[in-house]
Every structure is written in structure tokens, then in C-alpha cells.
Amino acid sequence: MSHNSFGHLFRVTTWGESHGPALGCVVDGCPPGLPLTPQDIQAWLDRRRPGQGRFVSQRQEPDAVRIASGVFEDARTGGPVTTGAPISLIIDNVDQRPRDYAAISTAFRPGHADWTYFAKYGVRDYRGGGRSSARETAARVAAGAIARKVLGPGVSVRGALIQIGAHRIDRARWDWDQTAENPFWSPDSAMVDVWADHLEAIRKAGSSTGAVVEVEASGVPAGWGAPVYGKLDAELAGALMSINAAKGVEIGAGFAAAALTGEESSDEMRAGNAGPVFLTNNAGGILGGVSTGAPIVVRCAFKPTSSILNPRRTINEAGEDIEMRTTGRHDPCVGIRAVPVVEAMVACVLADAFLRHRGQTGGGAFAPGSGERA
Amino acid sequence: MSHNSFGHLFRVTTWGESHGPALGCVVDGCPPGLPLTPQDIQAWLDRRRPGQGRFVSQRQEPDAVRIASGVFEDARTGGPVTTGAPISLIIDNVDQRPRDYAAISTAFRPGHADWTYFAKYGVRDYRGGGRSSARETAARVAAGAIARKVLGPGVSVRGALIQIGAHRIDRARWDWDQTAENPFWSPDSAMVDVWADHLEAIRKAGSSTGAVVEVEASGVPAGWGAPVYGKLDAELAGALMSINAAKGVEIGAGFAAAALTGEESSDEMRAGNAGPVFLTNNAGGILGGVSTGAPIVVRCAFKPTSSILNPRRTINEAGEDIEMRTTGRHDPCVGIRAVPVVEAMVACVLADAFLRHRGQTGGGAFAPGSGERA
Amino acid sequence: MSHNSFGHLFRVTTWGESHGPALGCVVDGCPPGLPLTPQDIQAWLDRRRPGQGRFVSQRQEPDAVRIASGVFEDARTGGPVTTGAPISLIIDNVDQRPRDYAAISTAFRPGHADWTYFAKYGVRDYRGGGRSSARETAARVAAGAIARKVLGPGVSVRGALIQIGAHRIDRARWDWDQTAENPFWSPDSAMVDVWADHLEAIRKAGSSTGAVVEVEASGVPAGWGAPVYGKLDAELAGALMSINAAKGVEIGAGFAAAALTGEESSDEMRAGNAGPVFLTNNAGGILGGVSTGAPIVVRCAFKPTSSILNPRRTINEAGEDIEMRTTGRHDPCVGIRAVPVVEAMVACVLADAFLRHRGQTGGGAFAPGSGERA
Amino acid sequence: MSHNSFGHLFRVTTWGESHGPALGCVVDGCPPGLPLTPQDIQAWLDRRRPGQGRFVSQRQEPDAVRIASGVFEDARTGGPVTTGAPISLIIDNVDQRPRDYAAISTAFRPGHADWTYFAKYGVRDYRGGGRSSARETAARVAAGAIARKVLGPGVSVRGALIQIGAHRIDRARWDWDQTAENPFWSPDSAMVDVWADHLEAIRKAGSSTGAVVEVEASGVPAGWGAPVYGKLDAELAGALMSINAAKGVEIGAGFAAAALTGEESSDEMRAGNAGPVFLTNNAGGILGGVSTGAPIVVRCAFKPTSSILNPRRTINEAGEDIEMRTTGRHDPCVGIRAVPVVEAMVACVLADAFLRHRGQTGGGAFAPGSGERA
């Protein structure tokens, strides 16, 4: 309900601006007894961190996370575990350069939230976009690390970049192991040089480029999600579209499903040991808003960042026509660092769906043949 | 927050199964004093109604709506107006044929929610899909009619079908007036015969086909929506993806944005009389999750219905491999009747955004030049 | 979260006015597989029904409930069970007498919501108070019947009237069995004649009187409820104070706790077979917002109805000073029929707490000695 | 919905344990443009602060608050104002003494949440009660300071202590000015010495005592609140009962209303300049869940703290019968410091009601005589 929160039983609230003292989140409703250290979270934050290569923002932020509440030593192991109380995570901003932003204090950068925040609120923290900055996504990734703990090792959520600009990977060459071997999370090793060349050209041109991220969650049992407005795909779509620069979301076959016939689209089933085995997965692991047991597959399209060096026509707070170019430190392709963010959002939505399913039904899925919950 | 509700201040809860006695919705939080008659709602329901042509389901449902609460005679006009109390709308089902569905009572139709409902709940109303039936969307359209009253005549929400199967309209021929002149809501008159032929072939083949719907909301002032998880685009994405058979959602340029450069993507502005005039609208009327003042443009992809006459491999509740074909009355292209449904969902999301914006800020948008709310 | 809904996982939305065509509720999030017939609900509604004696309203309403969605035949038993889909309950109004209310159409009865609804909405259904009528509580009782199914036979929720006017029961004579033996739900048989005489005098005087209801829920395991704003006592307090005419809520010792010392107030514990045995229950079964395992005890004070025959000073919509007396059919003591309503609200809150506890933790309580969930 | 949040449009989420590094809150949905400095908040925190006299805990906590997000310099005034983004407030804990609590690490103090947290979660931060500590209320008071900004100077929320132990004030001597002149917030100067003697005796006896707090909100216009489950009194009751040690909540006449007749209870009206003038206020400023325009009056009963020096019977985690006494630093009467906490909760509920009313209706109240919104 509130503006800066999402989730129902596993609920995440984030706060903080790009150039304020800190940012953070409060994760409420987490199950108790889960081992959780700052290092568990840091590992995921480090994947999203800026300043790690020439294709991402040069802002130097360690993104060191502190756990300010909600964990305590377990009597049995002595190690820290979640207590069921709200978990407050705080990440200090250390590389703010507010003076970079004086030029935009009274002007509206095209393609940014400058104008809309002004129109809505009449006041805005213009430094790096303030609340609208992609820096907020660090809090999402931190929350996602806790969500992964809730999901446990049986559920794997992993992402890849499948398109930069007009250059799409060849799905026939998909290799998940490759995503860890290149700075783009590309599952197609043949695409790495193509993208590197494209990004280099974009960067030199002072321009930017869009991208598409794909995330797969495997190990999700059948039964998560809830018709009809709490559909798992609806929750995923809302969560992903809330990420900065997102312009489209697909589940399974997505927009391509429009051109299919019913025979091509509907996934046939054969009996398996624990429920049906799907011969295809155009549904992306979700039917009627509820998980099928097959991998959940989502895609999210990101527009190119609007922070570009080339001059653009716009207006200012006084209502005058002006031209402006955006200096400062920016990612030429925000889609790259969005990979861990999309993963995190998927993990959070799934953790929430898991808890809600357990709440309403007791958990587990009915197995064909027995009519009993597995 | 609950499973069968959406919206925050303008909140819609729906109920009912395809072959139960009735379906309906409760619209809570509606502003008082809005004139509202059953006819106001009926007009929109009639656009979605089945049994109206050879390209939609032959089920004969008048979809006559009753208003069971929340309106009362206005002391000044004598006509019925909303009172601020919850509005209960009830639509009786009159053309149920439960016997059509005996064959699927213990089997899972591929591409349907049969399996997932069973897995989640262990029991399911299999008649026509029960709760997962597209019949539920009548309640959405009814709620949308009230949402339009909340938005008032200044906001126009209208939809079109832009693709059936592989056949896309030519946007250069877009004419909104055409959408009322053909059974497909096509804005491109040249596409009508193509689609008719395609659908005739699909129908004869006992198959089905997908589609893409586009909806535009014009007249939405700048300032609606709320960062960061209550983003207007996030709310729209969640709402649209909750529609039966939806597999993808786009805002503005959508997935095409991935292939653009920052120069191509970001919409330039020039000073206008009441805020900026956008020279393009790749943003689809939303930046940073808040409306820009430009028309809001969304697209939603629908898969072909999985109810097809051709035999398909699947399993049953006993866990056995079987083949089944789906008889009964079905739309060969559910995307067609989805047009008024997408419109309704957009209207509901906007009405809610309007009320929330007014709640937090008092309403209106800050105008450049004056620094005051318009 | 919305105005006419309560609960989180077990969520109830009600609608309807006193003299509209019908009233009802939608119960969403109910676990699947629970046997449920209209008779199961009717039994509880009949306890609240008007027209059943000289001490309650003479309005003749059968309060016959229909289940319009959310149940279906169970494959194993053939009987109707909940499906997990929203359960829509509808109760027709049959004994409306709108003409009784012409006199109040432009005047504000003292002590009623007439003025506040007008002030808020500018329009109001004045017939019998419209939405503010106690008739709405029929929907609560219907929902409570479903909540009892969720709680199962292990949890017993029962209520009693412990005070009418200044006449309080003697707790030393408390006998639950007596509550079914008199028209007041009195657990103290010696109070029955006292109350009957008091009510007869009140009725003849054209006046009304207040009352206090006490409800006990036994069998609630330790662990339900959630700190700190979702405390079980906070949820109960909100739920009870939402009942028409409620003016106070207590848990356990309640206001009397203010006069106690820490020694007197805090309940000592001894080891039992399944957790602690409490030697007293001043806590009313809740500590830190979470159930202790002891019976949950709540009390709710109801003011006398403001519908009295004696003339009272007030104003009308024109802003003029007037006098008015309230005719029509009214309960001289609304607290009597409030007993099943308070029970129902307690049952709904507990059902929700149960599901939320199961969602976050998996359910059950840790047992001392084993450190494992029971 | 989440456990550690309350409010709808004005939404507060708190986090932190008694002996963790810090505690804090996130206030989301605050209107933009409100001047806000740490000093604005500190002033209210200082009223609740421990270590300020012999009748409250000796723990020395400066309760210095930092604003970590959500404010920015106003372009016109240069001073900090709210931006509409979430406001994160952080208060460091500086006087933790975790070693004080070793004795209770495996035992359940009677009357505390020790047992229930263990039963629910299986793990608990036993240091000072962890999340269940009254230290959490600092975050409520901080949020309340922002709520007061939202309400503006026209609404005054002020509290008093009206009972300690069995000693109640004489309402005939009520003088609001006196509440600032004694350490008990007593409006009755004659009660100060009585309470001081009582507390001194209680303290020497190693015991504790309960209390009753009354809060009045004046200046609230008619029309705030929302039937029927979002009633203003229901929201207040839930909010107040969520405060540590609260056992009862009353609105207006409260439990005393049970002994009144309809003539005594219902407040008569006369025409005033801006709506009705109420001749009495047994309703406590709320009818039908909506504010009447008269002052809102609530009372909240607090039990004596269960932290007492005298030995008490209880059990431990091993399930053994033991005796324990609670050392450490405690308030002999937690009700005293609860006064600013109850005020804060009332302010937060009212701020939320204001924004929701404005959202649904546009704001203001209909005035008798004109039929137009004031």
C-alpha cells in the first residue's frame, strides 16, 4: 500500500537518496532462525556495485552493508540468525559529489524523473536524481539476499543479459556458466566481443544503449502464487516494472505468444515422479497465476539511460526552453547492472509467494496420483 | 493485498466462478457524489460480452449488472449517486452448461490453470475453469466503468487491437475512429479483412491465436503515481499481467527501447502552456513512475487460448498420461474481448493513482514558471 | 486496508445498507478443503437475528444466506468444500420500511452517524442509517462462521453479556452453560431477572441502555500474533472497536490493570505438558502481542443506542436548530445482539493470525524442553 | 499488512531492538514541502526520554535522532523540507548493558514477551526484551513529530496522566497547563504529591504500578475516518493497543457508556458557525467511525511493568520450574513515559486519516446550510 514498500508477508521497504548520507531497507516478516551475516548480503551487493569496470559508472561506492536489527545469536550454533523481527539494512553513501549537479538543480533532464517529481511534489532532491536514482537498487539487492535465504538452496534464481542495443544472443549457445565469465552476464560467449565493441562505441559517442535481462528461477514447486490479482506473474510484472528504466516485462513466451497458435503455445505434459513434466515452457512456469513446477522465466527490457553527453532540448523550472547535456558518472548501459537487481526482485516476490502459500494452505503441492500434499 | 483485490484507495474485489450462480465485485473507496446508474456500467459490459459474433465465444450471457449497494438518490438531482460506501455489483450467470465439463473434471487441460489450481488447493471448480475463467473479467469491466466516473470526462481511456497472430497493424494508418467500426477494435481498417481471414482459418482448424492490445489514456495530468514501488507503470504492469492469458506488458517504447540509443529514447521537451510539451513519447507518459502529462501508452500480449479442439498430451489427477481435446464454447482469440478489459484495468489503476496523489499532495501538478500547483 | 475490509491473509470485505436490496461479504484467502454449507453459516446468523424477542428489534429478517462463490463439491466426499477462491455471501433484505425514515432524511439524529456521513460525503442513505446500520453486522457474523471453520474444533470462541446498564454479573457465578439458557447470553443466571426488569423499564421509557460483552477464545496455541503493530491485541482492539456502538475494548485485566502492582498483574508460570501453565490470566492470553496459550479474553463496551423515543435537540441539513425523536424498530440494548458479533470478529482475527503465523514460521509453537516446534 | 508497519497513506515502519546498535523508523507517504529539521523531532523525543528523573528508568539515552533521507533544501526558503520520499529516522543506542541480561537468556520473565517470542520464533534477542522493549516507542514518538507537521498548527494533540495505581485525578480540577509543570503530566496539581508518594513506595518495594493516559485531539474537522473497518476509533484502538503494556482503550465515555441511557449518552447538537456544536462529548468526537468536529478523546490503560525485584515463579527454556527476579533499570510506572507515546500514535492515525479523507473526497467537510464543502 505504501509507496516505498512491496510484498505482503515478506515485505521490503526502502529509503534513501543518491547523494544523501545513506540508503537502506527494512525487511519485515522474515521467517526466524535463518543464518544471516553481513557477508551473506555483501556477496550479492558486490555483483551490482558500481566502479568495477569501464562499462559501468565510475562512482566508487563500497556498498558496505550493516545489519542494524533483526538478527541475534542462535543459542545452539552461536551464529547470528534472523529473529522474525524487522531486519534493518544500512548502506552509507561515501562517494557523493553533489556539486556535479548544480547545473540540473533548476532544469529537467529529458527522460529523467526531474520533471515528474517537480510536478508531483514541487520540491526535489536533484542531486543524482535523488530518490529516483538507480542507487536505490542496492537496497533491492540487499533485500534479495535475505529472500534467497528464505527460499533456501532448493530454489535457484539466476540472471543473464540477452540483448544490448540491437545485438541479441543466440539462445542455441546459452551456457549459464558463461554468465560468470564476462562483465555482461552474457550466457553466449560469442556475444561478449560484439557487446564490448558496441558499448565502447556508445561510450565514445557520449551516448547510451538499452538492454534486455532474463531471469530464471528453478526449483520453485507447483502451487505458489494466488489468483486472481495476486497472480505470481502479476506480482513479478509489478516488481520488475518498478526497477529504474524498465519499460517491458515478459513471462515465458511473452510477446512472441501473440503470434503462436494454441497448439504451439500450450505446454503439453507427461507424468513425472512428482507431478507433471512439461514438454515445453511457453508458460514460463506459471499458469493461472500459480507456479507449475517448471522453471519460472521472466524478461525485462531496459531503456538506455537518459544521461548522455549530447545536448538535448528541454525546459527549466521557470518554464523556459533550454538545451542541456548531462555530465557526471553514468552507466552507458544500465541494463548490465540490472541483472542482479532483477534477480533480487524475483527472489523477493518468490519468498513472499512461498510464505503466503504456506499461510493459506499449509504449504506443499498436491501430487497427482495420491491426492495428498507432497 | 489480498488475493482477489487490487488498488489502494480505489479498491476492487472480485468474486465468482464461470459456472457458479453469479459473479461480481465490490468497489470500495469510491468518491461520493458521482452519478451512477446500472446503465452507465452496462454500456461498458456490453462491449466485452460474449455471444456477439462468430469470432467470440457463443456462450449467451446478457451480463446484466445490478447495483446492490453504495448508491443513493441525490437530494439535489434526485438521481442516484455514489455515497462513498462500497458499491456491490452482481452479474448473474445464465448460460451455464456444467455438463460440458465432465470430461475435464479429473484431467488437466494443457495451458490452463487446471493443474496449478489442483496442485495449490487440492480441489477445484473445473466447470469452465471456475475462478480462472475469463468470465471473471466481466467484473473488471464493471469496476472500470466506475473508475471512469472517478476520472471524469477529462481523462479518456481507449483501446485497440494491434496484432492478431503474426499480423500487425500499420501504425501509419492508425485511426481511432476505426476501432468502433469493426469487430476487432482495429485502428487500421486495412487489417480487418486480414484478421477475419486469419481467424476463420484458425476457427476451422480448431485452433486459436494470440494478440496484442494497446491502450492509451489521454488527459492524465502530470504527477500521478508514486515512487518507487508504487510506480504508475509498476501498478499498470501488475494490473495488466493479472488478466487471463496475458504474457507481456510494455510501457511506451517497451521492448523496442532496448535497441534505442539515449538520444532516440529520451523524449525532448519544449515549453507549453501548462507544463512541458513532449516532442516524442517513448516514455509512454511515465517517467520515474510518475505521469508526465503526455498520453499513457501500454501494450499487453495475450497468448492463444489453450482451449483447442485438437488432441493434446497431458496427465490426469491419477497421474496417468492421457490425451485430451477441449470442446465447449471458446474464443478463438481471447485478445479481442480483452480490449475492454485492458481499458478497464488501466482506468482502475488511474483512478486509484488519482486518489492517492490527491491524498498525499492535495492534488494538481506544479507548473513550471509559477512554482504553484495548477 | 481499504475502508470496508479487514484482515490480511483471511480478509473480509462487507457491503450493503440497512434498507438496500441486500448485504453481504466476500471472504478472501480462506484455506481450501474446508466443508462449508449455507447451514453452517445460518446457524450463527440465527443467533444474531432480529425479531426474536421483546428485547430486540422487531424487524423481521430471516437473514437467509446464499453462498455465491468459492465452494465446490469435494471429489472424495461429494460435499461442498471451500476451494481457496473468494467466498461471496449474500443476505437479502426483506423487511425494509424506507418510509419510516422520511423524517430523518434532512435531519441529523443525535448520537448517530447522520451528521458525520453528511459532513464527509455530502450525501447519505438515511434509511435506517444506511451503511452505518447495525444490520451490517450480519455480514460479520457470516464471515465469522467461516473463520470458525478455519480455526477448527480445537479453538472455541464463545461470548457472554456481563453488564447491562449499571447491572454487572457476579463473576463467581459464571457458568458458560447458562449463556444458552436466557435471551441475554448471561453466564450468571441470577442476573437474568434483573436485566429483564431493567430492559422492560427502559423500553417503556422509550429509552435505551448500554452493555458490556466478554468473549473468550480457548484452545489458541502460543505463538499467534505478530509484534509490534500487528500485535494480536492490537488487531482485536481494532476489530472490536469497529463494531457499531463500541466505545471501549479491554484485554485480560484491562483498565483494572492500572490499579494493580507488578506482582498482582504479571501471571506466574509453572511447567506443563505443552508449555507453561499460567497461574492467573491478567494478560488475557496475550503477551508482547503474541498468544501465550492461555485463553484469550476480551471485553467490549457498547453505548446505548441513540435511537430513542424521547425528543432530543439537534440540527438539520439546513443548519437549523430542531428537536427530533426517533421512531422505528430498534433494540433497546444493542449490546445483546452484539455478543455473536464480537465472537465473530474475534474468530476472524484469530483465523487471520493463524494463517499469518503459519506463513511466517511454518506454524506451531516451540515447546520448552525440546526447543522444537510442537 | 506487515508486522512492523501501520498507517495507509501516512505509513510508519519501525525497527530495532533495545540493545542493538540503533533503532529507527521509515515514514512513507508524507506530503511534500513541510519544513522538517532534526530539532523538530528531537523536541518530542526529549519528552519521552529515559534518565530524566527518579520515577523513570535510569538508562541514559540521549535519543539523538538523525534524518537519513526524505528532506531537502527548499528552493525558496533554503531550509529543509520534506520531499515526499520516505523519511528514514535513526536513533543510536548508546547505553546498552547487555551483560545485565545474561540471567534471562534462558528463562521467561513472567508478564513479559519472553515466552511468547520463544514460542513463536524459537530464538529471541533477550537483551532488555529485544524487539518487545518499550525502547521501540522512541521511533513512534519520532514519527509522531512528523505527523504533527502533517496535521499543521490547527490540530492540537495533547496528553495527560489521569490515574496511577488506584489514584485518579479529579476531573473538576483539570488544567492542561499543569501537565507541563510536573513529572507526571498530571492535569490535576493536587494529585502530584499523591502520585509521588505512591511511586516512591512502589519503588522502594521493588514493585511497579499501572496507569491510565488520556489524550485529546482538538481542531480535527468533521469528516475524517472511514466506515466501517477503517473507522477512526477502530484505527485509534488498534494503534493504542499496540503500545507496550497497553491493556485497554476507550473512546469518549468508554466503558462508562455501558451504564448510561440513550438520553445521557447521545450528544445533543445546536447550530454553530461551522457545523454543529455538541453540548456534550460522550462520543469522544467520533460517530459512525468519522470525526464529528468535537475534540477526539481517547484513554489507554497500562499495566504495571512486569520487571520487578521480587522473586516470581516461572519456567525456563528447558521446561523447568524456577523462580526469578528482574534486575536492571526499569520504570516503576511505564504509563508515565507512555503519555508522549499515546500522543504520537494519535497524531499518526489522524495524519493518515486526513490524507485518506483528502484522497477519497478531496478534503474538507460539508457544512449544514450550504451543502457545500467548507
pLDDT tens digits, one per residue of C315-333: 999 999 999 987 766 788 9
Q: Contact D120/A84, CB-based, under 8 Å?
A: yes
Using the predicted structure, report yes or no on whether residue D1 has a pLDDT greater than 70: no
Query: A86-99 pLDDT, tens per residue?
Result: 999 999 999 877 66
C60 inside 8 A of chain A by CB: no
Q: Which of residues 261-320 of A touch D (CB under 8 A)?
A: 317
Mean pLDDT of chain B: 94
- Tell me if D196 sits within 8 A of D246, measured CB to CB: no
Per-residue pLDDT at B134:
92
What ipTM was reported for this prediction? Answer: 0.97
Q: In angstroms, how far is the first alpha carbon of chain A from the final one?
A: 34
Query: A113-172 pLDDT, tens per residue?
Result: 999 999 999 999 999 899 999 999 999 999 999 999 999 999 999 999 999 999 999 999
Using the predicted structure, report yes or no on whether residue C277 has a pLDDT greater than 80: yes
Per-residue pLDDT at D304:
96
Residue B372, SS3 per DSSP: strand
Spell out the residues 6+ positions from residue B132 whose beta carbon is closer than 8 angstroms to its own: A227, A228, A288, A289, B112, B113, B117, B244
At residue D312 the predicted structure's pLDDT band, cuts being 50, 70 and 90, is very high
CA–CA dist A273, A348 (Å, integer): 29
A32 inside 8 A of chain B by CB: no
Instruction: Name the residue among B124, A238, A66 with its Cα closest to residue C71.
Output: B124
Mean pLDDT of D75-81: 90
Calculate how close chain D gets to B359, using CA atoms only, in Å: 4
Q: A33 to chain C: nearest residue by CA?
A: C361
At residue A369 the predicted structure's pLDDT band, cuts being 50, 70 and 90, is confident
Of C270, C315, C335, the CB nearest to D269: C315
Q: Which of residues 225-244 of C touch B (CB under 8 A)?
A: none
- Tell me if D108 sits within 8 A of D316, measured CB to CB: yes
Q: Contact B356/D358, CB-based, under 8 Å?
A: no
Query: Which residues sit opposite C250 in a β-bridge?
Result: C299, D248
CA–CA dist B166, D29 (Å, integer): 45
- Which residue in this structure is represented by grid cell 533499570? D329
Q: Amino acid letter at D221?
A: P
Mean pLDDT of chain A: 94
Of B75, B84, B362, the CB nearest to D358: B362
Indicate which of D8, D23, D265 best probes the interface with C, i.e. most C CBs within 10 Å of its own CB.
D265
Per-residue pLDDT at C327:
74
- Tell me if D134 sits within 8 A of D244, measured CB to CB: yes
Using the predicted structure, report yes or no on whether residue A295 has a pLDDT greater than 90: yes
Q: Contact D366/C122, CB-based, under 8 Å?
A: yes
CA–CA dist C307, C128 (Å, integer): 10
C133 inside 8 A of chain B by CB: no
Per-residue pLDDT at D210:
97
At residue B99 the predicted structure's pLDDT band, cuts being 50, 70 and 90, is low
Indicate which of C123, C124, C131, C136 best probes the interface with B, i.e. most B CBs within 10 Å of its own CB.
C123
Lowest mean pLDDT among A51-55, B359-363, D334-338: A51-55
Mean pLDDT of chain D: 94
Q: What is the CA radius of gyration of chain D?
A: 22
Mean pLDDT of D22-46: 97
Nine-digit cell string for D82: 520534506
Using the predicted structure, report yes or no on whether residue A181 has a pLDDT greater than 90: yes
Task: Label each residue of chain A as H, E or C.
Answer: CCCCEECCCCEEEEEECCCCCEEEEEEECCCCCCECCHHHHHHHHHHHCCCCCCCCCCCCCCCCEEECCCEEECCCCCCEEECCCCEEEEEECCCCCHHHHHHHCCECCCCCCHHHHHHHHCCCCCHHHHHHCHHHHHHHHHHHHHHHHHHCCCCEEEEEEEEECCEECCHHHCCHHHHHCCCCCCCCHHHHHHHHHHHHHHHHCCCCECEEEEEEEECCCCCCCECCCECHHHHHHHHHHCCCCEEEEEECCHHHHHHCEHHHHCCCEEEECCEEEECCCCCCCEECCEECCCCEEEEEEECCCCCCCCCEEEEECCCCEEEECCCCCCCCCHHHHHHHHHHHHHHHHHHHHHHHHHHHHCCCCECCCCCCEC
Query: D284-293 pLDDT, tens per residue?
Result: 999 999 999 9
Of A3, A165, A288, the CB nearest to B229: A3
Calculate how close chain D gets to C77, using CA atoms only, in Å: 35
Query: B161-215 pLDDT, tens per residue?
Result: 999 999 999 999 999 999 999 999 999 999 999 999 999 999 999 999 999 999 9
Per-residue pLDDT at C77:
87
Q: What percent of chain B lies above the pLDDT cut of 90?
A: 84
Q: Contact C11/B24, CB-based, under 8 Å?
A: no
Other CB atoms within 10 Å distance of the CB of residue A235 = 29
At residue B98 the predicted structure's pLDDT band, cuts being 50, 70 and 90, is low
B152 inside 8 A of chain D by CB: no
Q: Contact B9/D355, CB-based, under 8 Å?
A: no
Instruction: Name the residue among A296, A184, A241 with its Cα closest to residue B254.
Output: A241
Per-residue pLDDT at A329:
67
- Which residue in this structure is represented by grid cell 537519513? D68
Using the predicted structure, report yes or no on whether residue C1 has a pLDDT greater than 60: no
Query: Which residues sit opposite B272 in a β-bridge?
Result: B275
Give me the phi and psi of D107, to 5 degrees please: -125, 160
- Tell me if D203 sits within 8 A of D193, measured CB to CB: no
H or E element at residue D145: helix D137-151
Nine-digit cell string for D325: 527476579
Using the predicted structure, report yes or no on whether residue B100 has a pLDDT greater than 80: no
Using the predicted structure, report yes or no on whether residue C281 has a pLDDT greater than 70: yes
Task: Label each residue of D229-247 as H, E or C.
Answer: CECHHHHHHHHHHCCCCEE
Query: A73-88 pLDDT, tens per residue?
Result: 998 888 999 999 999 9
Provide the strand spans (E) within B2-79: 5-6, 11-16, 22-28, 65-67, 71-73
At residue D36 the predicted structure's pLDDT band, cuts being 50, 70 and 90, is very high
Mean pLDDT of C94-114: 84
Mean pLDDT of B18-35: 97
Spell out the residues 6+ positions from residue A172 whose beta carbon is closer than 8 angstroms to its own: none
D84 inside 8 A of chain B by CB: yes
Instruction: Name the residue among C229, C178, C301 with its Cα closest to residue D4.
Output: C229
Q: Contact D69/A106, CB-based, under 8 Å?
A: no
Nine-digit cell string for B271: 515549453
Of A1, A15, A131, the CB nearest to D8: A1
Using the predicted structure, report yes or no on whether residue C17 has a pLDDT greater than 80: yes
Per-residue pLDDT at B118:
96
Q: What percent of chain D lies above the pLDDT cut of 70?
A: 98
Q: Dihedral, CA atoms, C21, C22, C26, C30, nearest 10 degrees? A: -150
Calculate how close chain C gets to D75, using CA atoms only, in Å: 36
- Which residue in this structure is represented by grid cell 489524550? D215
Of B212, B241, B288, the CB nearest to A237: B241
Give me the phi and psi of D317, to 5 degrees please: -65, -25
Instruction: Give Cα B146 to chain centroid, integer Å.
Output: 14
Per-residue pLDDT at A232:
98
H or E element at residue D158: strand D156-164
At residue A371 the predicted structure's pLDDT band, cuts being 50, 70 and 90, is confident
Per-residue pLDDT at D124:
93
At residue D67 the predicted structure's pLDDT band, cuts being 50, 70 and 90, is very high
Mean pLDDT of D53-77: 87
Instruction: Name the residue among A295, A225, A299, A300 with its Cα closest to residue A267.
Output: A295
Per-residue pLDDT at B96:
74
Of A30, A85, A361, the CB nearest to C31: A361
Lowest mean pLDDT among B43-47, B307-311, C155-159: B307-311
